[in-house]
Amino acid sequence: MALLMRLATRQALLRHVRPSSILMKAAAPMATSPSEQAKAYWEKNKELGRPVAPHLTIYKIDWHTLLSGTHRLTGFIMYTGLAAIAAATLIVPASYPAWIAAIKTWPIAIPAIIYPAKVGAAFTVFYHLLNGIRHIAWDFGKGFAMKDINRSGYVAMGLALILAVFAATIVPSS
- Written in H, E and C, the secondary structure of the chain is CHHHHHHHHHHHHHHHCCCCCHHHHHCCCCCCCHHHHHHHHHHHHHHCCCCCCCCCCCCCCCHHHHHHHHHHHHHHHHHHHHHHHHHHHHHCCCCHHHHHHHHHHCCCCCHHHHHHHHHHHHHHHHHHHHHHHHHHHHHCCCCCCHHHHHHHHHHHHHHHHHHHHHHHHCCCCC
* pLDDT tier at 57, thresholds 50, 70, 90: low
The confidence score (pLDDT) of residue 61 equals 83
Q: Which of 24-28, 55-59, 79-83, 91-95 has the lowest mean pLDDT?
A: 24-28
* pLDDT tier at 19, thresholds 50, 70, 90: low
The confidence score (pLDDT) of residue 133 equals 95
Ranked by mean pLDDT, the top range of 76-80, 105-109, 142-146 is 76-80
CA geometry: angle 19, 32, 55, nearest 5 deg: 135
User: Bigger pLDDT: 133 or 57?
Assistant: 133
* pLDDT tier at 25, thresholds 50, 70, 90: low
Taking the model in full, what pTM does it have?
A: 0.63
Is 132's pLDDT higher than 80? yes
The confidence score (pLDDT) of residue 92 equals 80
The confidence score (pLDDT) of residue 72 equals 96
Determine the CATH number of domain 63-169: 1.20.1300.10
The confidence score (pLDDT) of residue 90 equals 87
* pLDDT tier at 29, thresholds 50, 70, 90: low
User: Bigger pLDDT: 103 or 75?
Assistant: 75
**Mean of pLDDT values over 66-89:** 94
